[in-house]
Structure 1
Amino acid sequence: MADMPLRLLKRLARDWFLLGMLAAVILAALFPSFGASGGPLHADVVADVGIFAVFLLHGLGLPAAQLRAGVVQWRVHLVVQAFTFGVFPLLWWLSDLSLGHWLPPDLSLGLLYLCAVPSTISSSVAMTGLARGNVPAAIFNASLSSLLGIVLTPVIIAVFASATGQSLSMGEAVLKLATLLLLPLALGQLLRPLLGAWFARYRPYTNAFDRAVILLLVYASFCDSIASGLFTDYGWEVLAMAFVGAVVILAIVLASTTRVARALGFSKEDEITVVFCGSKKTLASGVPMARLLFGANPALGLIVLPLMFYHQAQLLVCSLLAERYAKRPMQPNT
């Protein structure tokens, strides 16, 4: 345990995506007018094109055969989806009842959005594999979560957002998500027999494109927010609250998923799947969805900030957990 801070620092040094997000925020602070709505970048058009392309690639990468292999683990799926779309929003609601009056409404909305987005696919599956968990069930759950999130994320926000003083047009939100998320996902699945081999061969490059689009969306989001007075209106203490809130949520959910999996008598492999898939939140889908749901909101940068903090925290903490799980003795049937 003594070398954990050093290991975390090494991971941060290797994570160019984290450095890219920091650079995107700094560039937005220095040049907010370039990426703001109506600016020279034309971020609204570029963002829509990038989101469509990203989800088209996600559709190409969804392995239908492996998804079918994971379908039968229904108890695992039920627990994971219950945490993703039930426990997380309930946790936000309970915390908002006690602490909501201390938080700015936009930050409270950001924490709600963090709790409403689906699980992530790539890191959930990767962590489950590293920890020697139930990989087919992880693939199925993470993919199912992404599909359910297209409908359930705006529903959750519409139900709870009134507590933050915000509102969301359900019909318009679902239509946007269906057009720019569900449509390219379906198109990618249809094209998979033709382009699946190409996608597998160039996957490292497509993953880099995926992250580049996210960085562009982060930059554009913060350009709008900074131009509208994100730092001058709120100050650094609000950013600290966003970080603390994200870390506390992660700690509670990691402990809860572990306890529930053990209380239900799951195997260690299924426990790993529940812990990693049930606690993860997607930045890859979350930032594009936020752009579609809150695109006109001048505080969009603050709304996505808790999710950005949560993403980095979950990668660091879950990678350490995965290594610890992986060190357990091999069983004869594994």
Structure 2
Amino acid sequence: MDPYVAALLGTVALAALLPASGAAATAVGDAADIAIGLLFFLYGSRLSTREALNGLRQWRLHLVVGASTFVLFPLLGLAARGLAPFLLTDRLYTGLLFLCVVPSTVQSSVALTSTARGNVPAAICAGTYSSLLGMIVTPLLAAWLIGSDVRFSANGLLAIATQLLLPFLAGQALRRWTAPFIGRHKKVLALLDRGSILLVVYTAFSRGMTEGIWNQITPARLVALLGLAAAVLGLALTTTSFTARRLGFRREDRVTIVFCGSNKSLATGLPMAAVLFGDAAGPVILPLMLFHQLQLMVCAIIAGRWSRRAPEAASAQGERVQITEVRG
């Protein structure tokens, strides 16, 4: 089992056995907010402004990724409406809809694209653009599709901007001084990335335990939710792959579109859920957590296969070029 997956499961188990409550819950929540802010500061520090601007040239690629993230996924979520309350509780279906409006991820998309020998600079830009756009689009879509369960207000948008957008912009502004430090301490900062997410998970699940929400979710519903998440992921992977081919993108760009267009961000989605759903965020983040683990496992297998095929594709292309030269 992947150590990060084990850590997530261990965090959920810890919240079930020793949920934070009272003053401890407040302290843990504040620590999680600070850690997430620092995480997005690091995201801003890592992205070169020149890379971000150069990425705008590949507007067709980013348009396809954005359409998959904020159009295809919400449509898939709406198509599953008939499953509630038969297979899913209303709260779990709310979580499924929220999963479908969360922006794409940066880190795992870039890592998968790199493994599969895709267009890594485009993946960095696509994930970053999606995260920035999601700070506005995700609350709007959540309010529209989910309705009264979402605490949507100007204050909610301000909270998201304060916790996510402002640290990112600060990282961009200070990148000249922070980038060298980040380059020298990548391993330590990677632990911070994952630790931030674990803190948010522990906080949300602790709230659910203290309020007795988890008693309403049966093992059968969890299995149904896992199967539905797998179906959504499969449809997203198939649709992005088919669309990228039909639109004539080169292989490296197709890899980027598939991974960036089918992945969802746990790091961005969890703090947004905490702002938009408050104390009821526990069950809402469960579909996102399950989907995140599925996307890591399934996409890692796909990336490995594409990586092994990449030399064959390059060799075949070279042979075609040689044949053309001979004929010429």
Structure 2-normalised TM-score? 0.91
Counterparts of 1:75 and 1:225, CA distance in 2: 42
Counterparts of 1:181 and 1:250, CA distance in 2: 26
Aligned-residue CA RMSD in angstroms?
A: 1.6
Partner of 2:114: 129
Counterparts of 1:149 and 1:282, CA distance in 2: 10
Unaligned ranges ≥5, structure 1 = 1-11
Choose the corresponding residue for 2:13, options 19, 26, 42: 26
Secondary structure at 1:28 match in 2: helix
Q: Deviations over 1:161-219 (max 9, x none)?
A: 13xx6233232221111111111011111110011100111121111111111111111
Partner of 1:8: none
Counterparts of 2:301 and 2:239, CA distance in 1: 18
Choose the corresponding residue for 1:265, options 218, 224, 248: 248
Q: Deviations over 1:64-107 (max 9, x none)?
A: 232233221111111100001111011111221x3234221210
Counterparts of 2:22 and 2:101, CA distance in 1: 25
Counterparts of 1:52 and 1:204, CA distance in 2: 19
Choose the corresponding residue for 2:212, options 225, 229, 244: 229
Letter in 2 for 1:319: A
Partner of 1:7: none
Partner of 2:324: none
| 1:113 matched to 2:101 | no
CA shift for structure 1 position 63: 2.5
The count of corresponding residues between Structure 1 and Structure 2 is: 313
CA shift for structure 1 position 41: 5.9
Letter in 2 for 1:44: G
Partner of 1:191: 174
Structure 1-normalised TM-score? 0.89
CA shift for structure 1 position 265: 1.7
Partner of 1:67: 52
Partner of 2:201: 218
Counterparts of 2:214 and 2:122, CA distance in 1: 43
Assess if the C-alpha contact under 8 Å between 1:71 and 1:137 holds in 2.
no
Letter in 2 for 1:182: L
CA shift for structure 1 position 245: 2.0
Choose the corresponding residue for 2:305, options 311, 314, 324: 324
CA shift for structure 1 position 58: 1.5
Letter in 1 for 2:217: Y
Alpha-carbon spacing, 1:207–1:272, altered in 2? closer, same or farther (3 Å)? same
Secondary structure at 1:266 match in 2: coil
Partner of 1:206: 189
Choose the corresponding residue for 1:94, options 75, 79, 99: 79
Q: Deviations over 1:21-67 (max 9, x none)?
A: 111111111112xx235436622322222221111112111222322
CA shift for structure 1 position 277: 0.5
Counterparts of 2:169 and 2:267, CA distance in 1: 17
Counterparts of 1:58 and 1:232, CA distance in 2: 37
CA shift for structure 1 position 324: 1.4
CA shift for structure 1 position 238: 2.5
Partner of 2:325: none
Partner of 2:288: 307
Counterparts of 1:148 and 1:127, CA distance in 2: 22
Alpha-carbon spacing, 1:203–1:121, altered in 2? closer, same or farther (3 Å)? same
Assess if the C-alpha contact under 8 Å between 2:150 and 2:276 holds in 1.
no
Partner of 1:6: none
Assess if the C-alpha contact under 8 Å between 2:208 and 2:279 holds in 1.
no
Alpha-carbon spacing, 1:123–1:40, altered in 2? closer, same or farther (3 Å)? closer
Partner of 1:78: 63
Secondary structure at 2:151 match in 1: coil
Unaligned ranges ≥5, structure 2 = 322-328
Identity fraction in percent: 41
Q: Which structure's CA Rg is the greater one?
A: 2
